[in-house]
Structure 1
Amino acid sequence: MNAFAPDAADAWLSREFLLTDGLGGSTLLSPIGACTRRYHGLLVAAACPPVGRRVVLKTLIERFEPAHDPPVELSTHEFGPDRLRHPDGWRALASFELMPPHACVWTYRLREGVLRRHVERDRGRARVTVTYALTGAATSGRLVLRPITPMRGVHEVASDPVEARLLDARTLEVASPAGVARLIHDGDGVWQIEPERWRDFHHRLDAERGFFEREDAFCPGRLQAVIAPDVPLTLTCELLGASPPRSVVTGLGPPPTCAPRAAADQFVTLRRDGERWTTTIMAGYPWFADWGRDAMISLPGLLLETGRYDAARSVLETFASHERDGLLPNCFLDDRPTQYNAADAPLWFVHALWAYARVSGDDAIDPLLDTARAIVAAYRRGTDFDIGCDDDGLVNAGDGSVPLTWMDAYRDGVAMTPRAGKPVELSALWYHALNALAELVPGDAERRDLERQARRTRGSFARFWWPERRCLCDGLGSAGPDTTLRPNQLFAVGLPHSPLDAAQQRGVVDVVERMLLTPYGLRTLAPDDPRYVGRFEGDLWQRDQAYHNGTVWPWLIGVYVDAVLRVAGKAGRQRAAAALAPLLATQAEGMGQIAEVYDGDAPHRPGGCPAQAWSVAEVNRAQATITTTQKKNAGPRSELRGPGVGSE
């Protein structure tokens, strides 16, 4: 539980907590309940899970009126360019308790007793339940609630007209082109239709990102209800037609009970493909949907490490069903067609399938193997975006005009980190994928063919060597090696099959550790590079320029741990554990999640999405890897973590 001090209100307005529903929807707010982004709301629901997200119920303007004392405001927001704080519910707030993945509680001080507000997201349903409980008071009081219902897309601040109608004394319905929602209470009170607009909500975190930061939002009316001591009053709000059948929801499994698993669970959602429901992984809250690269990288840490093998298989099947010419979706978007511009996502799929097969005991993976075969075949012959394996066995990824790797910042037609030619991690992934698939296929002839291709790739990998710095360059282009010091080279060491010899592996780890390692992950560019940007701040253009040019990414700590354990063995455990400790502390001391990025320069402020799947996943996996190697005292486990058996 977090005790709240009124003089700390400003600091609490800069923090965020997350609840999820397993459908892509969220409750994301500051801990004092204020909306500080356009993406914030008590009920953000996916109309076509997990996309088509709508801000259905932004907030409730709440006031408690005791029988004999002055009214007590419960809600707090900021308004106008001066960020006027109104109402002043923060003054009565005593504590906030987060119970991830689905619930939280605010406690408010009264002259007589306390009032608690419990918010819960229903698992597998596009609904939020808000329960008020008055305790320690001798008499009843009255709650006055005004729902703010923008009924708009999450990326917008303007909304279409909203209509309100009273279905009965307890049921208020609001409708717009974005959908229909119902608010139902179970108390002694009635809804009053009183349409109005609350003007000039200020979103401070949007302002920091260079977004338009103000919003006028619709309020359909108010509820006045009596609340008696020890008799809870409950209000639900639901987006109609967005929830799957209950039989489908069971596929999400039971809610986790421990904090690390709760954080992992928040990214695992159902996906509706026509009449079919499958499982997927959200890349990050609040603005990312499900991305192929992120899902495949996150799958081991979110699902395999937590023993959720059925969900892991379903995620693999989800993306396999969308395979096209050897490519998998880069991302599913809320309002645009599926994008396929990812040269690494298919190779990460092969890795995720290999990891799944080694720990799950599933011996019926032939359909998934066929997708892996299709990926390898497409890369050997060449596919869209000029993605393919050249005669030298290394993977080419186009001319740099379209981002095809994870360093994909792109704005106004400009690729912020163009990586034309042969990015180093693609050939490292290709080498690993060939060896991983060779371990999975049943036929000797097919296995030998894959191994021959892998040997060709390994034989050419020396072209990436950068002798002056004793590490790998970032890629090979028509003008020669790209001698930029980035963390991508680490995949040639940390992936379960490495194309490097032991001396090269040590050289890469030493340079990365010296130049790129920070307490919160790895920098994306060495500080001695003139293009280095040490602060992830400013408008969208400035942030995109910094995104992969110095900004720290926590997810890279996973491959760093793998690489350190490979080159240093038992002696590397202490180094790996020390590198991981700040991220574990941040997760434990904060709101349970790990941010997308951090500044490259100290003090390394968090930025981007406040909750990112692969940040959480790779920290989970890295921690489990270190723990397992400590217990076995014999290097990485032969199943999933670290370099693995058969590594070179």
Structure 2
Amino acid sequence: MDLQAEWLETDGHGGYASGTVSGERTRRYHALLLTATTPPTGRVVLVNGIEAWLEGPHGRIPLSTQRYLPDIRHPEGDRGIVSFSATPWPRWQFASRVTQEILAGRQGEGTVLRWCRTDAAAPTRLLVRPLLSGRDYHALHRHNDVFDATARVAGGNVGWRPYRDLPGIALLSNGQYEHDPQWFYNFLYHTEAARGLDCVEDLLSPGMISFDLSHADAVMVLRTGEDLSAPANAVAAALLAAEHDRRSAVPTVWLAADAYLTARDGGLSLIAGYPWFTDWGRDTFIAMRGLMLGTGRLAEAKQILLTWAGLVNQGMLPNRFPDAGTAPEYNAVDASLWFIIAMHDLLDSAAAAGEEPASATQACLIGAAEAILDGYARGTRYGIGVDQDGLLRAGEPGQQLTWMDARFGDWVVTPRIGKPVEVEALWINALRIAGAWSPRWQEMEARARTSFAARFPDPATGGLVDVVDVDHVPGHCDRSLRPNQILAVGGLPFPLLTGTAARRVVDLVEARLLTPLGLRTLSPDHPAYAPRYQGDLRARDAAYHQGTAWPWLMGPFVEAWLRVRGDTPEARQEARTRFLAPLRAHLDTAGLGHVSELADAEAPHAPGGCPFQAWSLGEVIRIERMLTPETRALLRPRSGDA
């Protein structure tokens, strides 16, 4: 049992509850009530955690775990943990013969906590102190004289509104509340410290709730708002029953896919990763192919694309929406092209399932794709446009436009200005897709494909050049060995290479870049190679795409690996053992049931970044489908009309 592994419960609107198996909060993002005020953005932390303990004949028995400056753990409730399970929701069994459960509803109903005795000899008195803040989820909270600890009490239910500009907190319980405000000082979040970030916080506990476990299970429901009229037992029972039914209906890894689905502007989108990302364009379109299409959620996939289709501007889709509610950021060359790939895959999946989208839906999606291609053909922001050779050029100093987008201050770590290999693969695929409904793109595709074949092969390695016409200088090439070239063979509907040329690329990537948890972003023999993703923010940004392995790239790699081997049963079996098994084992570490954002380039390949990453999990689901064709019979549209 890894006590530092993390669990996640999401509410379908950008909010979530999360923490570690030990119960210790190691990140500023660990909380029991973290809500999105402008779904899925505007996230604020309202209830950070709890102090919980039992009182029995032999004194106090802690159930919670805290860490304080300088590095003091008190209490250490994790010493009493006998077992933990993350499914169907987080559940702890303590040596004191009491269980604790935490779950969040998918419609914003709140977070439920329940404690049960498993033996008549277990202590009967439970006491819980909620620990409150009221802050942006990226920030930290310190003692102040503005915090309003005033309580509104209605039986076992109590409400607070610590700060006027934030939502109120409603705590429903079947216990008894005693008002007793106390500040708790200097909580230490050691994962934040390891990342070189501020890591100390003060929280206020306004009072204590006591429960008699001899009469009934103890129940608390945490949610936003002012309404204290609902009975805790009824609310918790309904939510527990609904979530049990929902979670028992599908495989665990498919259920994890639900965590990323979120409301946006009356439609749907996908959170890129927890705990700190919101919905990003590039991530959404890559991830949805596995998370939604790979699990038969065609209706949801359609809604996601329709939500984003209305945001095309000058041929571009936004890469992200800032938390502050300001204008979206149109700073990605590939996000818009990934939209077209995702649209193609949706229409293809719907046709295979006999669920053709309505003509109005198809017209909307195709119209967005046409606007993207028109904008790119004419030329748009950041030097993005079609060059004389038919390839897509992009970039200008100070901007990071590809998925390798690390930036520290004014330093763009991997600018890749020019014609990046994966962008050309996306561009040619998008033209091929659009050529099916409009012949005008067919000639452009043929020209781009011919230029790609002439300009990207690298005789020195047998692979492909990473960027041609670097900094828009004709003939200047970046031959750094990176994984982006794999998208010319796998990961996209139409490979640009076949036969011996494709096999050389796959073999090169396998030999130099493959790790158990993803593809390295740079060859180990490169002077800039970073074997570990660690240190402060600058050090981690420097390593982000300079060696660090990314699990999402395993999807394109496995697809390419199978293609060059004829996708035989023998090849699929070998791929299950060599490529899928380590990823499945990773589901039991780091972010439980999920796949991390990245991992160290060198053994033991420690996971890092977001412990819950959408496109990482999405590509694992896609790999499952590639290697287990019989699972396709399980895939059916699960709601609505695709």
TM-score by length of 2: 0.89
- Which residue number corresponds to residue 645 of structure 1? none
* Equivalent position of 2:231 in the other structure: none
Aligned equivalents of 1:415, 1:106: Cα separation in 2? 44
Contact 2:5–2:589 (8 Å) recurs in 1? no
Partner of 2:583: 583
- What's the CA shift for 1:177? 4.3
**Secondary structure in 1 matching 2:629:** helix
Does the CA contact (< 8 Å) of 2:489 and 2:498 recur in 1? Answer: no
Which residue matches 2:46? 56
2:76 maps to 1:88: yes
Matches within 5 A, 1:336-351: 336-351=326-341
2:251 paired residue number: 258
Letter of the aligned partner of 1:179 in structure 2?
L
- SS of 2:331's partner is coil
For 2:467 and 2:122, the matched residues in 1 are separated by 72
Alpha carbons 1:465, 1:473 under 8 Å: kept: yes
- Change in CA separation of 1:575 and 1:471 when aligned onto 2, cut-off 3 Å: farther
Give distance in 2, aligned partners of 1:602 and 1:118.
35
**How much has 1:450 moved relative to structure 2?**
1.5
Give the alignment partner of residue 467 of structure 1, picking from 459, 467, 478.
459
Q: Distance in 1 between matches of 2:390 and 2:159?
A: 61
Q: Residues of 1 paired with 2:505 and 2:555: CA distance?
A: 15
Work out the CA distance in 2 between the residues paired with 1:489 and 1:171. 58
More off after superposition, 255-264 vs 20-29 = 255-264
Aligned mates of 1:509, 1:241 — CA distance in 2: 58
Distance 2:127 2:136 in 1: 27
In 2, Cα distance between equivalents of 1:370 and 1:197: 56
Question: CA shift at 1:178, angstroms?
Answer: 5.0
Residue 178 of structure 2 aligns to a residue whose secondary structure is: strand
Higher RCO structure, 1 or 2 (CA under 8 Å, sep 6+): 2
In the TM superposition, residue 55 of structure 1 has moved relative to its aligned partner by 1.4
- Larger mean CA deviation between 503-512 and 585-594 belongs to 585-594
Corresponding position of 1:206: 192
Cα offsets for 1:551-585 (capped at 9, x unmatched): 00000000001111221112643453322221112
1:307 counterpart residue number: 296
* Equivalent pair of 1:23/1:126 in contact (CA under 8 Å): no
1:232 paired with 2:232, answer no
SS at match of 1:192: strand
Preserved CA contact (<8 Å) 1:534 1:600? yes
Partner of 2:9: 19
Relative distance call for 1:534 and 1:178 in structure 2 (3 A) is farther
2:381 aligns with one of 379, 384, 391: 384
Say whether the 8 Å CA contact 2:274–2:611 is kept in structure 1: yes
Counterpart in 1 of 2:270?
281
Deviation sequence 1:116-167 (CA, Å, 0-9, x none): 2121101111511111222322587322211101111110013674312332
Alpha-carbon distance between aligned partners in 2 of 1:378 and 1:519, rounded to the nearest angstrom: 39
Match of residue 455 from structure 1: 446
Paired position in structure 1 for 2:234: none
Matched, 1:163 2:122: no
Among 406, 411, 431, the alignment partner of 1:414 is 411
Pairing 1:599–2:593 present: no
Do the aligned residues in 2 keep the contact of 1:55 with 1:150 (CA within 8 Å)? yes
1:508: how far off?
Answer: 1.1
Q: Does 1:362 align with 2:359?
A: no
Residue pair 2:315, 2:375 contacting (<8 A) in 1 also: yes
Matches of 1:620 and 1:120 in 2, distance apart?
24
Amino acid at match of 1:141: T
Work out the CA distance in 2 between the residues paired with 1:332 and 1:39.
19
User: Given the alignment, which residue of 489, 492, 506 partners 1:493?
Assistant: 489
Among all aligned residue pairs of Structure 1 and Structure 2, give the percentage whose two residues are the same amino acid. Answer: 38
Give, in whole Å, the separation in 2 of the partners of 1:28 and 1:596: 17
Task: Using the TM superposition, give the Cα deviation of residue 188 of structure 1 relative to its aligned residue in structure 2, in angstroms.
Answer: 4.3
Cα distance, 1:97 vs. partner?
1.7
Q: CA deviation at 1:192?
A: 2.5
Structure 1 distance, partners of 2:523, 2:226, is 50
- How much does 1:399 deviate? 2.2
8 Å CA contact retained: 1:328, 1:345:
yes
Q: 2:159 touches 2:226 (CA, 8 Å); kept in 1? A: no
Q: How far apart, in 2, do the equivalents of 1:278 and 1:122 lie?
A: 19
Q: What amino acid sits opposite 1:237 in the alignment?
A: L
Structure 1 distance, partners of 2:588, 2:5, is: 14
2:636 aligned residue: none
- Matches of 2:554 and 2:58, distance apart in 1: 54
Give SS of 1:58's match. strand
Q: CA deviation at 1:426?
A: 0.6
How far apart are the structure 2 equivalents of 1:156 and 1:630?
Answer: 43
Aligned to 1:6: none
**Deviation at 1:43?**
1.6
Shift in CA distance, 457/35, structure 1 to aligned 2, threshold 3 Å:
same
- 1:393 counterpart letter in structure 2: G
Question: What is the one-letter code of the residue matched to 2:322?
Answer: L
Q: Distance in 2 between matches of 1:483 and 1:178?
A: 53
> Kindly tell me: are residues 628 and 513 of structure 1, through their superposed partners in 2, closer, same or farther at Cα, counting changes over 3 Å?
same
Q: Structure 1, residues 27-47: CA drift from partner, whole Å, max 9, x if none?
A: 211102110000101122111
Aligned CA distance change for structure 1 residues 254 and 134 (closer, same or farther; 3 Å): closer
2:230 counterpart residue number: none
Deviates more, 1:179-188 or 1:32-41: 179-188
| Counterpart-to-counterpart distance in 2, 1:628 and 1:603 | 31
Give TM-score scaled by structure 1 length. 0.88
Report the counterpart of residue 5 of structure 1 in structure 2: none
Distance 1:631 1:296 in 2: 21
The reply on whether 1:482 has 2:443 as its aligned counterpart is no
Show the 5 A alignment for 1:11-50.
12=3, 14-50=4-40
Amino acid at match of 1:585: A
Once the two structures are TM-superposed, the CA of residue 588 in structure 1 deviates from its matched residue by 4.7
User: Aligned-pair distance for 1:98?
Assistant: 1.1
Query: Corresponding residue for 2:64?
Result: 75
Q: Cα gap change, 1:170/1:630 in structure 2, threshold over 3 Å: closer, same or farther?
A: closer
CA contact under 8 A between 1:493 and 1:505: conserved in structure 2?
yes
Cα RMSD over matched residues? 2.3
Letter of the aligned partner of 1:152 in structure 2? R
Q: Does 1:513 align with 2:510?
A: yes
Cα distance in 2, alignment partners of residues 629 and 471 from structure 1 = 34
**Hey, what's the Cα distance between the residues in 1 that align with 2:417 and 2:152?**
60
The offset of 1:408, in angstroms, is: 0.2
Structure 2 counterparts to residues 186-197 of structure 1, below 5 A: 186-189=173-176, 191-197=177-183
- Counterpart position of 1:128: 111
- Which stretch of structure 1 is more off in the superposition, 392-401 or 452-461? 392-401
Contact in 2 for aligned 1:187/1:226 (Cα 8 Å)? no
User: Residues 215 and 296 of structure 1: is their aligned pair in 2 closer, same or farther, counting only changes over 3 Å?
Assistant: same
Q: Does 1:182 align with 2:194?
A: no
In 2: Cα distance, 1:575 partner to 1:482 partner? 33
Stretch deviating more after TM superposition (393-402 or 583-592): 583-592
1:48–1:487 CA distance, 2 compared to 1 (3 A)? same
